[in-house]
Amino acid sequence: MIAEVIKMLQAEVQTLTHELTVTLPEALEKAIALGDLKENGDYHAALERQQFVQGRLGHLTQRLTKLSQIDMSKIPTDRVGLGSRVVVRDMATKEDETFELVIADAMDLDLGQISVASPLGSCLINKKVGQTTEARLPMGTRKFKILKLQTLHDLAGDELG
């Protein structure tokens, strides 16, 4: 999972670097050739895009640095942690839900993925099967019981075997 996110972020870095070093300089050169930079919309748009791309590249570089520092040996094998797939029962509705805890850059709500940093994700962290936990969400507090757990290590083993 982490390797996939790193590849995705590296691809975006490559695309943005090309835009910053090739596409935007060409756009700026064309805009400058038109003259009168004060009222030149193309010039200002290219400068604005250049600033955005530089900011996004800085953010991506920070994310890649943090991702490369994740120590897989520190991810628990018996409790909910990064990469875990967990089945919980909402104690109020008695409905079961499945969540996969991921880093924000990899989150896809349609796939049942939640960020480990979200209120729901953080209330599940370090819980074991059978434990209950409460999530304080904007719509109110929800109480969950952990029914089933597959850790990142379990899921990695499933993919290999």
pLDDT level of residue 11 (50, 70, 90 thresholds): very high
List the end-to-end C-alpha distance of the chain, in Å, as a whole number: 16
Class of domain 73-160: alpha beta
Class of the CATH-defined domain 2-70: mainly alpha
Check whether 161 has a pLDDT greater than 60.
no
Look up residue 31 and give its amino acid.
A
Query: How would residue 156 be classed by pLDDT, with cut points 50, 70 and 90?
Result: low
Residue 133 and residue 63: Cα distance in Å, rounded?
29
Q: How confident is the model at residue 157 (pLDDT cuts 50, 70, 90)?
A: low
Beta bridge partners of 102: 115
Residues of the chain with CATH 3.10.50.30: 73-160
- Write out the residue limits of the CATH 1.10.287.180 domain(s) in the chain: 2-70
Q: What value does the mean pLDDT take over residues 118-141? A: 93
Give me the torsion for CA of 65, 85, 73, 78, rounded to 10°: 150
Token pair belonging to 9: 């972020």
Position 102, amino acid: V
Which of the given ranges, 25-34, 107-116, 147-156, has the highest pLDDT on average?
Answer: 25-34
